[in-house]
Amino acid sequence: MESKIRPAEKRDLPSLLDLMNQLSPYSSQIDYTKISETFSSILEDKFYRLIVYETDDKIVGTALLLVQKNLSHGGRPYGHIENVVVDSSYRGKGIGKEMLEYLINEARKYNCYKVILNGRKGTEGFYESAGFKRTDETEMRIDL
């Protein structure tokens, strides 16, 4: 079985949407044209690293790193990881952890001083397995 992590490409959109549906199921029909445009702009933006985990020509995982520019810390950016999903049939095989390690390494290449993420309750152990630590910071949110 051949497996690799690679940057997402245009042809991956249907597989990525299937994975996004496993993260948060669509409540209504999606506007494919609009989401294709968003996807293209992510692929073209050097401050976004969207990766896929491919095994035997099937996309079974994805994760996104956003490199956020910043004026503190001498202007060093920080990384924000989002949208980590492994297909339900492929979980528990180390794929998620491998993708996190890949993106942490990408963040290093951008000279990021930290990588942050908001994990769902119950996934703490998963993120800890890749070196993340719980913080005592308060997470705040407003739904729009």
Ligand X SMILES: CC(C)(COP(=O)(O)OP(=O)(O)OC[C@H]1O[C@@H](n2cnc3c(N)ncnc32)[C@H](O)[C@@H]1OP(=O)(O)O)[C@@H](O)C(=O)NCCC(=O)NCCS
Q: In the window 44-83, what residues touch ligand X (CB under 6 A)? A: none
User: If binding means CB under 6 A, how many residues of this protein chain bind ligand X?
Assistant: 19
What count of residues does the chain have? 144
> Which residue stretch of 1-9, 35-43, 89-97, 134-142 sits at the interface with ligand X (rule: CB under 6 A)?
89-97
Binding to ligand X by residue 94, rule CB under 6 A?
Answer: yes
> Which residue stretch of 3-11, 27-35, 36-44, 122-130 sits at the interface with ligand X (rule: CB under 6 A)?
122-130
Q: How far apart are CA 64 and CA 51, in angstroms?
A: 6
Closest CA to 105 of 72, 67, 57: 67
Binding mask 16-35 for ligand X (x = CB under 6 A): ------xx------------
Cβ burial, residue 17 (10 Å; 0-12/13-18/19+): middle
Q: Say if residues 61 and 104 touch (Cβ distance below 8 Å).
A: no
Positions touching ligand X (CB under 6 A) are: 22-23, 84-86, 91-97, 119-120, 122-123, 125-126, 129
